[in-house]
Amino acid sequence: MNSRKLHTVSTVGMGTSREQRLASAEGANPPQVAARATRIWGAVVAMSVLGLADIAGAATPTNLKDLQQMRFPQPVRVGSLAGENVIQAGVNLRKLGVVLGVFRTSDGDLELVFRYGGVFGFGSRVIAPPIDEVSLVGPMVKINDLDKMDLAALPTFTPSDGAFLNANEIIRMGIDRKY
């Protein structure tokens, strides 16, 4: 490639604003593009101020079941969950424990049973948050809306009335694309 061609390529778009580049691509002049964008954003702001469009709370779930439905529940074999890592939502991807199984209460609610806390297995206890509080992130199970204090406040799991699900049973769990 000669230096003249390289120089031509490197200066394309220099000294032009984003609106001008978009306008030239669309065949419109820059003031028209800027005016159109201003009108659109003005209309959106006006509608949200007047209450005609609820932008911030458009899809705000009211309970755990609604939130779980927003996570696009997928069929999952219970046996594939056993032994998987349980992580906490957030930046540090803190490992909380390992899945022991899924428990169905006498009310029909599902709970994810896993060992939580302790150091190298000493001092840990078994807890069971509702299945609606968790989602799948790849092969891991993520606790979504419970923080460290909420998990510590959960009672120690004791299988009283209900039963563990068979490894071949299929349940529906939400999926998540971010840790």
Residue range 150-169, pLDDT digits in tens: 988 999 999 888 999 999 99
Report the pLDDT value the prediction gives residue 11, as an integer from 0 to 100.
44
Report the pLDDT value the prediction gives residue 129, as an integer from 0 to 100.
93
At 20, the pLDDT band (50, 70, 90 cuts) reads: low
21/106 same-domain check: no
Report the pLDDT value the prediction gives residue 174, as an integer from 0 to 100.
85
Tell me the C-alpha distance between 57 and 53, whole Å.
9
Residue 34 lies in a domain: yes
33/97 same-domain check: no
Residue 58 lies in a domain: no
98/133 same-domain check: yes
- 116-146: per-residue pLDDT in tens? 887 776 888 999 999 988 889 888 999 988 8
170/87 same-domain check: yes
Residue 18 lies in a domain: yes
26/89 same-domain check: no
73/161 same-domain check: yes
pLDDT: which is higher, 5 or 168: 168
CA 102, 103, 108, 109 torsion-angle sign? negative
- 56-102: per-residue pLDDT in tens? 455 555 555 555 556 668 889 999 999 999 998 776 778 889 999 99
Report the pLDDT value the prediction gives residue 67, as an integer from 0 to 100.
57
Closest CA to 91 of 174, 18, 179: 179
38/95 same-domain check: no
- 22-41: per-residue pLDDT in tens? 555 555 555 665 666 566 66
At 8, the pLDDT band (50, 70, 90 cuts) reads: very low
Residue 85 lies in a domain: yes
113/135 same-domain check: yes
Residue 42 lies in a domain: yes
114/86 same-domain check: yes
Report the CATH number at residue 113.
2.30.30.240
Report the pLDDT value the prediction gives residue 68, as an integer from 0 to 100.
58
77/128 same-domain check: yes
How many separate domains does the chain show? 2
Rounded to the nearest 10 degrees, how much is the dihedral formed by the CA atoms of 37, 39, 41, 46? 180
Residue 57 lies in a domain: no
13/44 same-domain check: yes
With a CB cutoff of 8 Å and minimum separation 6, the contacts of 91 are none
Residue 55 lies in a domain: no
Host domain of residue 46: 3-50
Residue 140 lies in a domain: yes
CA-derived radius of gyration, the chain? 26
Predicted confidence (pLDDT) at residue 6 exceeds the cutoff of 50: no
